[in-house]
Structure 1
């Protein structure tokens, strides 16, 4: 009995990256550092985004704020769920078996990233309607319809990956930090094709189609404005510029978020298709592409905070409120001895 325990303790841990671990701590140091670092960034960044949206009412004037907040909540849950592989790599006991933990973790992260992907597609549709049908936009896009759309996004995302529990195949490589996931849960080319046809391809097509037409229409508007400059006064020119610029700028912010999302997810999707179809397998590539894709959950916060001036104002207000709340207790403590001295 003691010999088996000693053998288990002395056996090297399962590490996806081909880097020597430290025998003194007996866990995959590099993997743990990467996952914990990303987890802290994702959780803290998305908590800030959620608080800013609640503290800045102007951000809620845009209908896209519904989808952006949905993405923020989904990304926050991604960060929280990433604590599971972190604890597993640190040899903390998990409440479920490794096989079930691996399946649940892979399913949850796949669903949450599907929510982000479909939300980005819905954002592009929303901006397309706003530019192509500005007069009827408020009647077409209502808060009630937006809430229904968000519920459909969550329901559809949970439904697409549900067959993974019925032995259709692996939904993704998020759980490959668990040994059972990496070695005993194979991918299936038909299930991978099913995911591509039901999620990746439609979302990418919608985004490409809508943003291509959005920028084409914006280009036509700027061309018309430049042609009117010879006919109208400078005042009307400035008014026209002010009307056309906000929509284009906001579309550019959303386009940056969408572009970064697909850039970070492209290596993961390519590896996913290669292993499903050609049987290619590489643990290092699996780990790096997976966590590069998951890092997008933090990149959304950075892009939005750097690109949106209204968000920056809300962030300043939030930081100012936090600073004043921190200063008040210290000021109260400093005033207490003075008041006592005055009474004496």
Structure 2
């Protein structure tokens, strides 16, 4: 096996481990903290977490096996089942990200009417659409025998197995990616850019109030004034950085794979199989990024993780220190008694 192939295998293995652990932590936080479960967006976050976990357990290891063995993992029927699940789970995760962006847009732009606009029933309806959308495309591909092993990606995915319906398969591929990747990307851009606009507006209002306060406080120390101005700068950068993370990770992870799927529809354009596996790894890496982008970097999840760790470590530390501490206390008590009697 060449060095590049070894590196790709290691990369895929790292993605599997990170995705499995991070999504499992999100699920544990969801089960541990009732405040997280009460929030309406948790419906979309939980759905995204389950999709990522199932994709990590079912599809990623088989892609790694197919890449290492340079062949189809399992029978044709098994490969079709795996390809069906990958199409469904990937589509569902993309639409879940779009649903999360819509939820955040309503929460920021219409904060006073958020609870009346977004309820659990509304979230369930949106979630139902994501499932119907995902199931429709994956079922159609399976019924038309457009699911199978694709050597370019070393995985069971969308593929014209019979190679007798190239034009219909090309139309299906373009429509599928337009209504999943492109639609989700447009929703992310529109909603998060509106969120960024509102955030910058509030930052400007806060900056004006801060500057007016600094002007009134003539005797303020220069270091305090400098810290206030630095905080203003960090506040503006924080909003831009968050929005860039949401949209940027989506594009970096999915765009190479989707573009490669479109380019391969033209037989005259050669595509190296290693690039196909790289694009597949990037698409899989979104499952490892999502827990950090949408959950684990938020203060509520950080606090929940800290509480879980403290709860796990406290009993063991008490058991470890309890007997020794008790023995030392008894030894010091006997020594004090002996000294008192001697005196």
Bin of the TM-score, shorter chain as denominator length: 0.7 to 0.9
Residues 35 and 86, structure 1, Cα contact 8 Å, conserved in 2: yes
CA 1:124 to 1:249, structure 2 compared with 1: closer, same or farther past 3 Å? Answer: farther
- Residue in 1 that maps onto 2:275: 285
CA 1:57 to 1:158, structure 2 compared with 1: closer, same or farther past 3 Å? Answer: same
Match of 2:62 among 64, 78, 84: 84
Residues 80 and 142, structure 2, Cα contact 8 Å, conserved in 1: yes
Give 1:294 shift.
Answer: 0.1
- Residue in 2 that maps onto 1:71: 48
Give 1:297 shift.
Answer: 0.7
- Residue in 2 that maps onto 1:313: 303
1:163 aligns with 2:152: no
Match of 2:105 among 124, 128, 132: 128
Runs of 5+ consecutive residues of structure 1 not aligned to the other structure: 1-17, 22-27, 235-244, 339-344
Cα distance between partner residues in 2 of 1:275 and 1:111 = 21
- Residue in 1 that maps onto 2:2: 19
Give 1:177 shift.
Answer: 2.1
What do residues 62-121 of structure 1 show as CA deviations (whole Å, max 9, x unaligned)? 432322222111111111112334456677xx9x95322222222212221212211111
Cα distance between partner residues in 2 of 1:61 and 1:181 = 38
Cα distance between partner residues in 2 of 1:90 and 1:273 = 25
1:275 aligns with 2:264: yes
1:323 aligns with 2:323: no
CA 1:293 to 1:326, structure 2 compared with 1: closer, same or farther past 3 Å? Answer: farther
CA 1:61 to 1:177, structure 2 compared with 1: closer, same or farther past 3 Å? Answer: same
Give 1:139 shift.
Answer: 0.9
Cα distance between partner residues in 2 of 1:169 and 1:214 = 39
Counterparts of residues 14-163 of structure 1 (less than 5 Å): 19=2, 32-60=9-37, 62-81=39-58, 82-86=60-64, 97-163=74-140
SS at the partner of 1:161? helix
Match of 1:256 among 238, 241, 245: 245
Give 1:289 shift.
Answer: 0.5
Cα distance between partner residues in 1 of 2:3 and 2:208 = 66
Cα distance between partner residues in 2 of 1:52 and 1:32 = 31
What do residues 217-263 of structure 1 show as CA deviations (whole Å, max 9, x unaligned)? 222233334445577899xxxxxxxxxx99x9689646524421221
Residues 42 and 79, structure 1, Cα contact 8 Å, conserved in 2: yes
Match of 2:288 among 283, 298, 303: 298
Match of 1:223 among 194, 204, 216: 204
TM-score (ref. length: structure 1): 0.72
SS at the partner of 2:265? helix
RMSD (Å) for aligned C-alpha atoms: 4.2
1:199 aligns with 2:177: no
SS at the partner of 2:112? coil
What do residues 148-173 of structure 1 show as CA deviations (whole Å, max 9, x unaligned)? 32232122212122221133645996
Residues 253 and 283, structure 2, Cα contact 8 Å, conserved in 1: yes
Query: How many residues are treated as equivalent by the alignment?
Result: 306
Q: Computing the radius of gyration over CA atoms, which structure comes out larger, 1 or 2?
A: 2
Cα distance between partner residues in 1 of 2:45 and 2:157 = 35
- Residue in 1 that maps onto 2:228: none
